[in-house]
Chains A and B, each alone.
Chain A
């Protein structure tokens, strides 16, 4: 019972097919109240379809959705008042000003005129948009649009906020500010469901993360637990002049304790649960006529874990979605 009270989203065997394509294939997960839950996966993994089913833009074929104890499986309207939704594209009204957009969004959730006006002013100040409050949305920069879209998503103080790729395609400073706002929102008690293709962003912000690939959740855990097995590992990256792949055969034979993590052009990354001795490895490269130009000790990241679990190169996910990019 306590566990149920502590759970704001409960998803069981959720399934959605589009013709012969299984977009979401029987996924299960829970989100606890106050949690910042990350949902990571490549394009076409089923992230948006899952969000659409949770928020009411799509009907599940099978399975169940409970939000704050309300069964929303076939009645998404029942819990929509509890949700704030920030889609991956800024979808406010171009012909309305910043403050008009926020007030309109507040009205959609039944907020009284005075409440929505004061809340709109508060949010415009919080998001650094007070000076642009009277300007039409169509004239906002991408970063400003994104911030106003997030502000519109929280105008009615939702208990659960869905953020779909909140920092995609905006400048570095705006992305950093948005991440800070997300963290502050979560600290103030809002439960957040975040999808992002920036794995570093998820690592910094999220408490727990689910990896979804091909419509299936392949792993759900806290960032700490996901990272734990790698803490004892030592990871080294060698940079050589030439093709690092030339040494792979001899490396496997001569150093069986090493696990080869990545071979890409002149880069080779190895991991081991024991100390990695650089000298013998440098000699091996030299025996193959490859000069070692740099050796780096790598702190394992969530990206490594993602690659290990899903078998998908994290950089390829970034490339898929990124248009203008936002450095972290």
Chain B
């Protein structure tokens, strides 16, 4: 019970201190609007094409909303040594990491729904399989957040967190099948695509929005779950090794 008081307090503090700050809210709105407009203008098609843009815009909104936010906030707290305060509190490392990542996951999920909500006003979304889209956004947010945690544990400066985030994010965008179908990538690059969590996130979103995914949704969710768990456990191991030397 006492540990859960700590959990909710850490989550509440992070939400109010970082995620619900006006610059982040405006960024969370601007980013998907800009991406949607860009894709929409580029396609040159009518409003009905918006549904086809959603898997890409949702994936990118979640990915960008979570990875750098968590990596930067954790690195910032490490620099100011306030993160030590959390490590010294009588709360298990797992629960502490869950508390720190829950805020970013919520932020990512919110970011992911912004383009969907905007699309609701512009086009008919009645064909969407919400039973796939909802968990897909949560899974992508969790996977991206744990990637952010992994980055946070690997760097010591805030600028390194940004750089390292991009090192993962940009190749993922181009290799996950959002811009180019994986089967059209050079053969030697295709295995790399399947080693990226966003590939499975984008695929299940395509199934949910357009029935155009290439893999079974169960496999997509399994892979996203495995990536999330793996990154979480790896980060936990690295924290124990690097921060509690």
Contacts and interface: CB of A to CB of B under 8 A. Distances in A.
Contacts, number: 69
A104 B1 CA distance: 16
Interface string A105-145: 10111111000000000000000000000000000000000
Given A104-B9, A104-B13, A109 B88 contact: no
A232 B88 CA distance: 46
B17 A80 contact: no
Interface in B3-54: 3, 5-6, 8-10, 13, 17
A111 B3 CA distance: 10
Nearest to A110: B2
B84 interface: yes
A245 B77 CA distance: 53
Contacts of B84: 57, 87, 91
Interface stretch (B55-63, B89-97, B150-158, B210-218): B89-97
A178 B82 CA distance: 21
A57 B87 contact: yes
Nearest to B17: A95
A93 interface: yes
A53 to B, nearest CB: 10
A308 interface: no
Contacts of B5: 107, 110-112
Contacts of B80: 91, 94
B237 to A, nearest CB: 14
Given A56-B88, A56-B244, A77-B90, A107 B17 contact: no
Interface residues of B, number: 25
A92 interface: yes
A50 interface: no
Interface residues of A, number: 28
B3 A110 contact: yes
A93 B86 CA distance: 12
A57 B13 contact: no
Interface string B228-245: 000000000000000111
A110 B81 contact: no
Contacts of A87: 81, 84
B85 interface: yes
A109 to B, nearest CB: 6
Contacts of B13: 93, 96, 104
A56 B86 CA distance: 11
B90 A91 contact: no
Contacts of B9: 104, 107-108
A85 B88 contact: yes
A312 B3 CA distance: 45
Given A91-B85, A107-B5, A110-B3, A59 B91 contact: no
B209 to A, nearest CB: 38
A328 interface: no
11 contacts: A55-B88, A56-B244, A57-B243, A57-B244, A80-B89, A104-B9, A104-B13, A107-B9, A109-B90, A110-B2, A152-B85
Interface of B: 1-3, 5-6, 8-10, 13, 17, 80-82, 84-92, 243-245
